Chains A and B, each alone.
Chain A
């Protein structure tokens, strides 16, 4: 397998889902089993991605393959000659791993959906939408430039919109779809602004060229401040897409979509695109920008974790946990540990997709019941679902031997190390407390759903294990949640193949004065060196052991409390909530974010819109109509003038002539004799006058 073949295969993997989308949409009405076409395509994508990932990682570990073509060419620009908008693909380790993750989960979700969506009246349409999602997601993963990233960024937004609103007859579904698109657009505006700065400064969108230019000292507006701003603005896209604070509100609502969609798009892949973008632009992020990223990640990890504690909808708990975990990844990148951020993305993708598919299996088995207050004791009815769910819970809680521990432990260590180097102690504190909370609410969910006695006997009696098509993906995902996929050492991933040889990120290219002190420049000879300074690496080795035990302890505490509260009933959750009612309602109502945004931004915009519409129809148009009325009044005045003055004069002359006529008429008697008298009289007068 050579370079050309790999590029070609990646392009095929990119475009065949689009072909699948078109055919399935057009023919879906006519051909009942059109979805099989889509299944076929996703399987092909899966195989191609696996091949690509295998060959890339096994044979070309250090190579980066780029292929591009000119999409739009603007010639002879007055300032800088020809300009090309290039589109292209870039195959490095990160993109092939991501491509594989997307394809693998996508394929599993496709298979899962065959059973889950059975009987839906838009069955084929569903698979078509999954196809366009796969296309757009692959585009994000494979692109080598920001513009193309933005294009596919918007396209995943579209597929997310279509899939969240898949059951659009429900008002809540169409609302959620709209909300998701619009909230994402807010982030995209920031990203667009960042892209504008990039274009203006570097005249290119290609990542590597941007990095090269920054490394050689080209800065936006010649200031490090604007480099920071550029980074933050680009990161805004990630805030929207990865549902980070303060734009996290759309993701829980997005659970209105079918559960396989939640698993694929709103847990594993699309929401991780924000993290992927942040990984991609990491080399040009200044220290200040990264600190911003870290703080956003910290808040997004902490706030949803507290909300998840009190939710009772199984999918919502998982949604908040997704936001929280994405916050972890973002935070990891923010503290400079970009590798662990991406690693957590990968491990999280598998176990979170598993959790969602598991919850889908429960919902399917319980005949579309999502409230955990109606569940309980399902362990016996759905054993496979239960055991896989347990594995995913252990993974997300950070228990050793599972994948989540490897990545989470690394992130916790990085935050601790970060606070040592920079003094920001709040970040590790938040990170560690989120670890407790995560373990607690995940096991709360597990216990309330599967353990104990059924709370709704009727529903329990009708519950059943899901069909094979749904079970098999769960088992496969559970397999991917064990440590041995990623590292031979169950306690630390540091020397495993994933981290030591696969995950390679370019060094920071930001001027030294603006970057974190512990980030190292790339070696001058062009070889790939460490991302960090020597001191940082030393310290991280040192701190790792403390963190290891700390995180073990925290996960244990969280799980222990979950058992004490919900399994053994040693502690009474209701009593506790009674004592801290304000905190409970605050968390239960999701910190009132929706209400806050609704009453400020949404209502404000609507009111402004109403006001402007009124202004438009009353004032602006009023002035137009007023000027028309004024003209009409003037015309009436001039009409009156014309009528009475100008025409009056004319009529006066006519009247006078008439009067003269009346007088003269008297003489015209019609009697010859009278005329004769006049004649004589006149004759006499004439004679008298002239004689």
Chain B
């Protein structure tokens, strides 16, 4: 009897396993075929001299990649952009969320306004940005009122600022919604206790709210980071394939190797970026784990 029920449970479990796998199969096979298996091939490609002779050269391709000037410039520009744009995107979105949570009127209408950039095709907004930031455009006229000299926004080192503004415009709304959701999940009684104990608004923000927000802060940071890698879209539409200085991003570099079909460089660049991304995410997770520890237990 005992044995039978054990067998019954066992077969039940394995049947569950099989059943679960069948439901999962379409997705798992697709992900394997289009993403994971070819990525393994890319890892292999990154360590051979070329796809025909296939001699192992280990890290030679990576060394060559890091010595490539175009890659260095692209990586430095992307890094510089991300280090400015991501903190801004997180911080400003948090401030906007706190602002909208401050019981102001027309909250949902304002929320809609902030989300609206999500709908707009980026190519058409780029036109508006070109008008705003043109040498003879509105931004320079505005600056002239304050006695600032005209700046050639698009054809100088300042062009990263133009793209950062476009990036923030596009992404703040989404991040703001994430923060608003997290803010509304903070237990009300906790904030009341803080009130009773005489905590000021700043103390409440740092010691109570931010601790509860830490998983969201982590997610918004990662999301903004991914989106900052996508900013090529804006840079490409603003300035084309070979933009001036600071807008030559990693994606421009990738596009150019896609065209020349240099598999080794393509593969080593993709593997490098994947590793960098995993490391960054791991670091962010570790930081969050330390900071948010008290809350999750």
**A and B: partners?**
no
Binding site for B on A (CB under 8 A): none
Binding site for A on B (CB under 8 A): none
